[in-house]
Every structure is written in C-alpha cells, then in structure tokens.
Structure 1
C-alpha cells in the first residue's frame, strides 16, 4: 500500500481524495485552494473502486466553478515609492515573469511611459513580442546584447518574477548600484532569491495601472535610437554571428535552430524538454506571444517535453505545435509518439541528437567521470518515429531540411520528426551559466 497523500505532500501539491461517484463533484470543489490568492497544485486521488462507479442521474455539474479571487491592489505608499524610483531612473529594465503573463498590454504602456526596456523570464517568453525595445529572455538564454543592456540598468523591476538564479545569472545581470524592485501577489516571494530595495505586494496589472495614474509625462529613460538599433541588430541569438561547427555528418545546433526559425510558420507554439540542447530552441525559435511558449522545467526533469507538446497542440489547434527535445528525453517518452499519431496532431518534433545525455557528459566528463552510462549508440530516431506513423528525416546538413519544407507545403497528414545529428558544442553556453557555483 502506497501512502499517496504523503507522496503528494512531499512534492508540494496538496492531496484531495474523492470518496464516491455521487460526491465527486463536491470533492473536486473542496480540493480548490481555499485562500483567495494561494497558488498550488492539488492532486485529486481517485481510487479504483470510485472510478468504476457509475455517475448517478440528477447529479449537478460534476465540477463546481472555482471562484476567482479579486486582484490584490497595491498599497498607496508602495506605489508612490516605486513611482519615485521610476522617475529617478535613467536606465530602467522591466523583467516580467509568469505572474505578469496576463498584464502584457499595461506593462507595454508603462514601459513606454517610463522609458524602460522590456524583458521576460523564460516562462513568459513572447510577452513583449513585436515591441521595438523587447530584449527577449533575461538570464542564461540572453544574447550578449540583451545581457549587456540588462546589466547596464540602474533600476530592475521584477513583475510577477522571482528574479531567481536563472533569470539573473546568479545575480551577475544586476549591475553595481542598481536598485531592485519586486512586484508580486505573494508576500513570501518578495526578496526570496536576492536582496531587494522595494517589495510591492500587489497584482501586476493593478500595480502597473496605479503607476500610470501616479506618474506624470513620459520620459526617455533607457530608450534611444542607439539602443533600438543594438536590439534590432543583435538582440536575438539568431542575429548573432557564431562559428559554424558543422561537419559532413553533423549540423551545428545554432545553424539548425536559425534555419528552423526561418522555415517554420510564425504562428507556432513551442514546447521545450530539458537537457543540454534546450537553450537552442528557447533562444532561437521566436514565438508570437506568451501563449506560444511552453517551458516546463520543474526539477529539470528530462522527458516531459513530448507530453507538454501534446497538451499545447490540443489547447491551441490553430498554431503549428513544435517540440524541441534531446535524444535522451525523446527515448524516455517514446511511447507517446503513438498518442501523437492517434490524435492526428501536426506536431513537428525536433530532436537535438548528440547520442548522449549531453548535460551529464559536458558537466561531469571533464572531471574524469565515467560517462559510458549516459552515452548511446547512434540511432535512426526518424526510423523509430516512422514505425509509430510519423513522417521523418535524419538531418545532418541544412540541405536535409528540405524534407521539412516539403511536409510543411503538403497536407501535413501526419506529424513530422527531425532527427538532427548535432555537432559537439562542448557544452552549451546556457549550461556553463547554469552550473556556475555548483
């Protein structure tokens, strides 16, 4: 007998049992987090005998609606203090996180009023897509230009963003003398990862709206034609010139990612698995908005990407779903390739195939560790996928991507898998950042 409630609590989610079919709806209602602004996962436990029970006639809606909490309004003093910091700042930068994903329009307006450059954490990627002063992702996936501009800020404001070690590169993206502010609906999040000069307890949209009322005329801030030109020229990794590591049998992952970004339709939803490869699709594949990027890296678990991509494809059928994964992660989840085919999803699976768990090879290999258990024989993963019903191609050169073009131009009658044999990058740039201090 497994103590499932105890297992759920150990990982953070709260357990909630359903005791009978007749009460299942009420049980689900009770499972909803009661505090108005508490955000947590709930594990609904359905015993086998309950699953087998027929739903009785006359039962109302099985799942009662969960009341939405009123947005937390910031205190007047906190708004006034943040407004004063914004007026005094010459180079403000906004970093929006998961908690700001529904506040894009008002943050754009506030950025224009204050002259702030706009960046996001990885999970909010795409929130400011199309803005002239959009820096993209702040953190390990930042281009050199983005990192330099964030580091040059004299005021960093985290909007629904915890400013953790990934987003701030262990704090190195916060320049000397820069003031740091956090806006969040959870008091415990304020200053949780680094010292801050001001914590504002409040909903992001409510706080930004209050600031628009508090502030006066627009100021130039960090925005200038020179900064706009730097962002336009090299704000994205796709615009940064890098050496081509490609060989006759392996393609540079940066070259591959640039080509994919150019060839795939702009209306896309990109899901990312975990591994050494993950910075390439994250940094190179642009997305149309914050709903175009699925970044599920809890515990950095390898193998969750395919299931994430299936969910994203079902949730947004009007967009082309794209999965970036490594060969190790794909092999962990290969059984779900059948699910993709059965559901008829036009999913493009891009496998960054280095015949290894690359993070382990590059992190532990140089210290003399035995990496034989984390390296694999070269495998034709496209052939494996075809066995499930996919279309597929092995890609070793840019020319091999013509098969993708043909699929995109056709009826897309089944999903497509690219087994990209990537050249050795010596450990990706984001991995070097991630392991600093470890």
Structure 2
C-alpha cells in the first residue's frame, strides 16, 4: 500500500496520484466522514460539508458518518446513508462499494473488529494514522491503498471534482434507501413486553419532541446503540458521545458543557443508570446552573451491554451486572431538579414535551425493558 506519514504542510506526490487515480476509476464509491472533519474549524467544517453536499447532489455517492461526524451531512439528505461504526449496521452499503473514501476518518472510531470489505480504502486527513491505529480496526490497514495528509478542505474538494465528472452508477436516493433499511432493521429489533418502554421508543419519542437544532448527548452503554443512529440531526454537533474507547459517565457532564457552550439550546442527555451513578453529583451542578437540560435515564437496573456480551460468551452471571433498582427521580428532586418517573409511552411523551417546553433542568427516570438489547446489538454490530 502507498502511505504517507507527513505533517500539515506536505503531501507525498505519489500518494496523491494514487488517491486521485483510484477515485477517478471508481464507479460505486462510498464516502465515510470521520472525526477529523467534525473537529475542523467552523469555517473548514462548513467548507467540507458544502463539498459533500455537492458530491451527493451531483454524483449521488452514498455518504456515511461516524458517530463523531454525525451532521456533516443532514439525516434527510438523499445521499445520507446513515452511520459508520465498523460493524454490521453499515455493511450493505460498504459491501456494494468498489472504493471506500475516508474523509477525516480515524480507525479508533470503529469498534475493534475484522474489516470484511474487499473494496480498497483511501484516507485523507489532517493527521497521519499510525500502524497501531490501523490495528484497532484489525484488517483495515491491509486494505488502505493510499493515505494523504494535508488540508482536508482542499483534499475533499479535489475528490469532489473527480466524482462530479466520473461515470458513477449510483442513483438519486440510494444513500437514503440504505439508511432507511438500516433504521428499519434497528427499529424492528424489539421483544414485545409490557414492562416499561423499549430503548428505541425512548429515543424516537424524544427526537420527535425536541425542537430543530436541539443537542443530544449519549453515554457509553447499550442505549448508545439506539441513541446515536435514531436521534435526528441536520447539522454538526447535534449529537455527542465519547466514541472510540467509550467512557461511562460522559453524557451528563457533556450535556452541561453543551448547554453552556450553546446558551438557550435545549439539550437531551441520554444516560444509563450505571453511567449516571458514576457522576450522580453532577445533578446538583445542573440544578445550580439552571441549564435547559433534560436528563433521560434508561433505568433497567442492569449494565445491559456487558450483560449481553458476557451471556453470549457464557461468562458472568446476573449478580455481576444487575443491581437493586434506584429511583433517580427522588435523587434528582433532592438535588433541586424537577423530576418524574415514567413507565408508559404516553406518560413519557407527555413528560418530555413538558420538560423541553419548560426550559428548566429536569430528570426523567424512564423504566426500560432491556430484553430487546440482544436483538439491537445484533442489528448494529452483528
């Protein structure tokens, strides 16, 4: 493979030539936008997003975004193909590609798993990817045909110019078709139950209730598998998670930070009961600051993602991953927040709409049935 480890001011001519040759020859390229694009300066990010919009609108190339890059293309754009995780949810679109173009993509954004796609990969970014980083995605390194480090704005524009004139075979709406099929599989990954809400319902109801431009934060855990794909976005920085080597306890501090950075913008904090327990004292911080944050607790009294993984491998036991149920609404009221415990769709829909309308810091302790998580994990990660 042709690779260049370089700084922001230099690119290797042979790597650039390989990159442009592969892009020009592709008939079914797919773009994966990563963290490098999302963390660029606002002006650079806007320029990259504008180029992606032109690419999608003219050549109909499906565009995936990693969790960190969600919003670099809007969810309702015809070329938006959904999320890229390094796992199953994006497999149909990447399997159909004859070239995978990573724009600001860092392998650490993917879960550690084998890279199953035959199409060559080209990467452009503002920092170089080391062999150790490739190892995170196991076999991705073997598929990288060219890596170029330089101005992400200029490199994306060069790729866009080629794609607009190449003879691709994608049709209008192919990206959105892939996304709709992936979301359908995720939404149908449920087990009927009368014991609380499904994880999908918690996110879709909140997303429908929130005003345009509202921000969501998602903690590490099983609920992240539904929160990240199902929260609707139309721009960057509208859904935040720790990603990579994911850290529990991220969502509440991130929600507080988001509300401080974007005064007046409603924020929905999706957290599991385990993650909230790690940062429980920050409820007092939220109440004291009076920020417009609605904390939505997926309360199933279980470390659900760990439970699903260890049960599948025959390890652990219920005593290792379950605990006595906590009433987080009582705790939140003790910290000075408005709070309510809900266990039906109707009550949750009413409560979250009221909380968002109030603009006051609020906690909703949502009783969630965890029995759908194995099917959800299969739909997202396989």
Q: Work out whether residues 74 and 202 of structure 1, in 8 Å CA contact, stay in contact via their aligned partners in 2.
A: yes
Q: Which residue of 1 aligns with 2:239?
A: 293
Q: Which residue of 1 aligns with 2:115?
A: 171
Give the CA deviation at 1:75. 4.4
Q: Distance in 1 between matches of 2:125 and 2:92?
A: 26
Unpaired stretches in structure 1, ≥5 consecutive residues: 1-35, 38-70
State the secondary structure of the residue aligned to 1:299: coil
The structure showing larger relative contact order (alpha-carbon pairs under 8 Å, at least 6 residues apart) is: 2
Judging changes above 3 Å, is the alpha-carbon distance between structure 1 residues 72 and 279 closer, same or farther for their aligned structure 2 residues? farther
Q: TM-score if structure 1 supplies the norm length?
A: 0.73
**From 285, 295, 299, the counterpart of 1:349:** 295
Q: Work out whether residues 32 and 100 of structure 2, in 8 Å CA contact, stay in contact via their aligned partners in 1.
A: yes
**Structure of higher CA gyration radius:** 1
Q: Distance in 2 between matches of 1:381 and 1:278?
A: 19
Structure 1 runs (4+) deviating above 6 angstroms are 433-436
Give the CA deviation at 1:115. 4.1
Please provide the CA RMSD for this pair: 2.9
Q: Work out whether residues 106 and 208 of structure 1, in 8 Å CA contact, stay in contact via their aligned partners in 2.
A: yes
Alignment of 1:310-329 (within 5 A): 310-329=256-275
Alignment of 1:268-417 (within 5 A): 268-297=214-243, 299-366=245-312, 367-401=314-348, 402-409=350-357, 411-412=358-359, 414-417=360-363
Q: Distance in 2 between matches of 1:225 and 1:425?
A: 38
Give the CA deviation at 1:249. 2.9
Q: Which residue of 2 aligns with 1:121?
A: 66
Q: Distance in 2 between matches of 1:241 and 1:433?
A: 9
Q: TM-score if structure 2 supplies the norm length?
A: 0.83
Give the CA deviation at 1:159. 1.1
Give the CA deviation at 1:231. 4.1
Q: Which residue of 1 aligns with 2:51?
A: 106
Q: Work out whether residues 49 and 73 of structure 2, in 8 Å CA contact, stay in contact via their aligned partners in 1.
A: yes
Q: Work out whether residues 139 and 168 of structure 1, in 8 Å CA contact, stay in contact via their aligned partners in 2.
A: no
State the secondary structure of the residue aligned to 2:270: strand
Between Structure 1 and Structure 2, which shows a larger proportion of helix residues?
2
Judging changes above 3 Å, is the alpha-carbon distance between structure 1 residues 182 and 434 closer, same or farther for their aligned structure 2 residues? same
Unpaired stretches in structure 2, ≥5 consecutive residues: 1-5, 39-44, 136-140
Judging changes above 3 Å, is the alpha-carbon distance between structure 1 residues 267 and 281 closer, same or farther for their aligned structure 2 residues? same
Q: Distance in 1 between matches of 2:324 and 2:213?
A: 36
